[in-house]
Amino acid sequence: MARSLFRRLLRAALASSLVVLMLVGGFIVWAWAPDQPVEALIDRWGAPPSRIEAVMGLPVHLRDEGPRDDPQPIVLLHGTGDSLHTWQGWTEALRPTRRVIRYDLPGFGLTGPDPAHDYSMKRQVQVLMAVLERLGVERVVLGGNSYGGGIAWQAALAHPDRVAALVLVDASGAPAADAAAAAASAPRSVPIGFRLARMKWAAPILQRVLPRGVIESSLRNVYGDPSRVTPELVDRYFDLATRSGNRAALQARFGRSGPRASELPVSAITQPTLILWGGRDRLIPPAAGQRFHAAVPNSKLVVFEDLGHVPQEEGAAETVAALQSFLDDLPLSAPAAPDARESG
């Protein structure tokens, strides 16, 4: 009797295991998304005015548009998992009168992974300065969204003679005066794509499997109005996420340790600063924008109540209008004296 029961239990366990394996295998087949070579993506996402420039050993995908005689070009840096395309609406509005430069950060878009495997803020600032050198640009209005905003304000501190003004769009690294302030600006919801990228144990699978639904869900999470997420938008993010090496780079960036941006002296920023924020940002809530505004002496805060974490993309028309008003009031000043932090 006991032997018969054991056999039945064993058969049931084997059948259950087979069902699980079939389900897992079916999921992998359904969601199979191996890396795409950059050559397969260039025609759709890197057509003119895009070009590739060799910068610090990186094939940097950039677009440089507008009048060449602009004394202070506008440089725009995208956020995590994004690309230069997020600034398309702003660029179309600005380029008739202003020179606009944007590029895919190392680890993202068509630029792809950094051969140095260094995704620190320090490295990103170095790449930014090298891009400016490559283009022969001396002094800029520097803007950034999310991670790109963190790079922007740290570049403004490290190289004040190169940055005339700052535009922070739902930027990372807001200073935390106390525990209550930190809690108020902590993420309310993190996109599933970011959560998956932090799972080191799943890296071998996640670099080959990517359900399109994960991209769509992540986008809907960061938009104030999820109905604005179109199939074409999902196509772009999906394609560039699967660019060869980008998923490994994202996991490397999330896996690195080091000083947090919020430990750096945001209050030392002296440049005129425009702070734009989405009122429905659940990844970096509006309280973080208020902390930036309180810490940066010469700053202006504009909150767009119906927009989310990428307001420059979700609501390009209204956000670029605020930028243009800021630029109209911005004097064309001489370069600042080199900061003491640059010496030595």
Query: How much of the chain exceeds pLDDT 90, in percent?
Result: 69
Return the domain boundaries, the chain: 1-31, 38-332
Whether residue 191 is predicted with pLDDT greater than 50 in this model: the reply is: yes
Whether the per-residue pLDDT at 262 is higher than 80: the answer is: no
Do 246 and 112 touch, CB atoms closer than 8 A?
A: yes
- Is the confidence at residue 32, as pLDDT, over 60? no
For CA atoms 279, 283, 287, 293, give the dihedral sign: negative
pLDDT: which is higher, 343 or 75: 75
Q: What would the pLDDT profile of 60-76 be if each residue is shown by its tens digit?
A: 999 999 999 999 999 99
The pLDDT, as a whole number, for residue 67 is 98
Q: Residue 262 has which token pair?
A: 């919020």
What is the structure's pLDDT at 210? Answer: 85
Q: Average pLDDT in the 170-192 region?
A: 70
The structure tokens listed for 126 are 């170095």
Q: Return the percentage of the chain with pLDDT > 70, whole number.
A: 75
Lowest mean pLDDT among 4-13, 49-58, 282-291: 4-13
What's the confidence (pLDDT) of residue 65? 98
Q: Is the dihedral of CA 264, 266, 271, 273 positive or negative?
A: positive
Which CATH code for domain 38-332? 3.40.50.1820
Three-class DSSP labels, the chain: CHHHHHHHHHHHHHHHHHHHHHHHHHHHHHHECCCECHHHCHHHHCCCCCEEEEECCEEEEEEEECCCCCCCCEEEECCCCCCHHHHHHHHHHHCCCCCEEEECCCCECCCECCCCCCCCHHHHHHHHHHHHHHHCCCCEEEEEECHHHHHHHHHHHHCCCCEEEEEEECCCCCCCCCHHHHHHCCCCCCCHHHHHHCCHHHHHHHCCECCHHHHHHHHHHHCCCHHHCCHHHHHHHHHHHCECCHHHHHHHHHHCCCCCHHHCCHHHCCCCEEEEEECCCCCCCHHHHHHHHHHCCCEEEEEECCCCCCHHHHCHHHHHHHHHHHHHCCCCCCCCCCCHHHCC
Q: What is the arithmetic mean of pLDDT over 237-253?
A: 91
Q: Nearest 5°: phi and psi at 295?
A: -85, -35
In the structure, what pLDDT confidence band is assigned to residue 344 with cuts at 50, 70 and 90? very low
pTM for the complete prediction?
0.83
| Amino acid 18: pLDDT | 46
Tokens matching residue 107? 């680890």
Q: Do residues 169 and 144 make contact, with C-beta atoms less than 8 angstroms apart?
A: yes
The token pair at 188 is 């309310």
pLDDT at residue 154 tops 50: yes
pLDDT at 342 over 50: no
**Residues 127, 155 contacting (CB under 8 angstroms):** no
Q: How confident is the model at residue 11 (pLDDT cuts 50, 70, 90)?
A: low
- From 108-117, 245-254, 279-288, 298-307, the region with the lowest mean pLDDT: 245-254
Residue in 81, 78, 79, 74 with CA at minimum distance from that of residue 96: 74
Name the least confident of 32-41, 180-189, 216-225, 250-259: 180-189
CA distance 52 to 220: 31
Confidence of residue 258 (pLDDT cuts 50, 70, 90): very low
Residue 91 is predicted with a pLDDT of: 98
pLDDT at 46: 98
